[in-house]
Amino acid sequence: MTRRLVVGTRGSALARIQTGLITETLQRAHPNLHIEIRKIKTLGDKNPAMPSHQAENPGIFVKEIEDHLLRGEIDLAVHSLKDLPTEMPPGTRIAAIPPREDPRDVLVSRGRIRFEQLPSGAVLGTGSPRRKAQLLAARSDLDIQPIRGTVDTRLRKVEEGQYDATVLAAAGLHRLGRHNVITQYFPLEMILPEVGQGALALEVRADDSATLALLRPLNDPATEAAISAERAFLKRMGGGCSVPITAYGRIENGQLVLDALLAAADGSRILRYRARGRLEDPEGPAQEAARALMEMGATELLAPERIPLTNA
């Protein structure tokens, strides 16, 4: 029996490739599944000059897609998980999180000059407070400037000399087949990635049990546990604020390990903490890391209106 599945996605090259990875997997598992892909413009797509961290709505790359989902115009939304706010809108849920791609950030520079060899005053483009703080912590002599646009746009700006270098997610370049432009990978000890970076989220209506059952086999439990811990930490610390804050989870020797970070915007102060816990309890390491950072002085770095209760 043929079933129709309408999939919503952003129209960028990366979004189309990511959606293609999911639909190809579904098509192989369900040959009679008829899949229609619908491209949807989000607020972030319509306003390319607006820095995403300054937008009032933390879901500027997902809200319009979720609206289509809730209206029943699509059955499945494929997102870069890092674009999802920590609070899911009522009536939706994440059906599956497939295995994560490389979560690291990478440097792309003119002349393939490594980060430590960039001249003092070199202009490095990034619109991410998280990246900026960690880069300045390592090289306070660099000139960090905002940069927006698609991956290709950012690469072109470097090639044209508008910037000496930029920082991008390894996962996006890998999926686009652009490994060749990478100058170097930043170690996780130096730059922690965005919460959810490298992972995809498959979002459905909460009451759509048929689509949920169709997608659940695509879920990777280890990735789900790690990212659940990351998102739980961000939520407890006031997810969505523009201060440099992030967490990275992974499985080591059967344990869930969570590295959490909070920084001053200029990189002058970095708070880091590592928590460990059980895969079945991602909230545990998240709570421990949040408490530890608060005890280390997180209130001085968080915006006053975002400060959570220390014993919440």
One-letter-per-residue 3-state SS of the chain: CCEEEEEEECCCHHHHHHHHHHHHHHHHHCCCEEEEEEECCCHHHHCCCCCHHHCCCCCCCCHHHHHHHHCCCCCEEEEEHHHCCCCCCCCEEEEECCCCCCCCEEEEEHHHCCHHHCCCCCEEECCCHHHHHHHHHHCCCCEEECCCCCHHHHHHHHHCCCCCEEEEEHHHHHHCCCHHHCCEECCCCCCCCCCCCCCEEEEEECCCHHHHHHHHHHCCHHHHHHHHHHHHHHHHCCCCCCCCEEEEEEEECCEEEEEEEEECCCCCCEEEEEEEECCCCCHHHHHHHHHHHHHCCHHHCCCHHHCCCCCC
Rounded Cα–Cα distance for residues 121 and 156 (Å)? 21
- Could you say which of 83, 105, 164, 208 is catalytic? 83
Check if 83 is active-site: yes
Give the relative orientation of helices 283-295 and 221-236 as an angle to the nearest 10 degrees: 30
Residues involved in catalysis: 83
